[in-house]
Amino acid sequence: MREISFSIPVSGTIRIDDNSVTIIVNKTETVVTLGPGPDKEGRGTLPKGMTVFDVLLATAQEFVRSTGESRFSAADLYHEAAREYPGLRRNTWTAHAIASAPNHPSYRHHSSKRDYFRYLGEGTYQLTPKYAATANTKEE
């Protein structure tokens, strides 16, 4: 068997649309249609203008108001918030809880200049007085 080397000049264009990619090489066109992308309302997506910190504080205040417990863990809050926002990631949630407690030993790695919580040790948090006051007021 014998091999003969050759080269062919090729020019082309790639066009990327919302859910398709069109590849044009010389005069041949191929369109690849992509499946649905990440669900815009799914993983990690919160309502416009809302951050994980906003959800964290609101969830903590609601937890204190509804259970009457002043102490909670990040996991307690995560389970509550995940019902409404199933796309929340657990590690992100925990990092935000740490970043909201200036006295947490790992705060220096996750600092956010937020002081929503006071870390009590062994994974337990408590709302700081200025945020606890909001949680203790009953909405009529």
The pLDDT tens digits of the residues spanning 71-81 come to 999 999 999 99
CATH of 52-136, picked from 3.40.1000, 1.10.260, 1.10.10, 2.60.40, is 1.10.10
- Token pair in block for residue 83: 């019902």
Q: What is the pTM of this model?
A: 0.66
Long-range contacts of 131-135, Cβ-Cβ distance < 8 Å, separation of 24 or more: 131/57, 131/60, 131/61, 132/64, 132/70, 134/61, 135/60, 135/61, 135/62, 135/64, 135/65
Domain boundaries, the chain: 52-136
- pLDDT tens by residue, 14-55: 888 878 888 888 778 888 888 765 554 444 578 888 999 999
Q: Dump pLDDT digits (tens) for 57-100.
A: 999 999 999 999 999 999 999 999 999 998 899 999 999 999 99
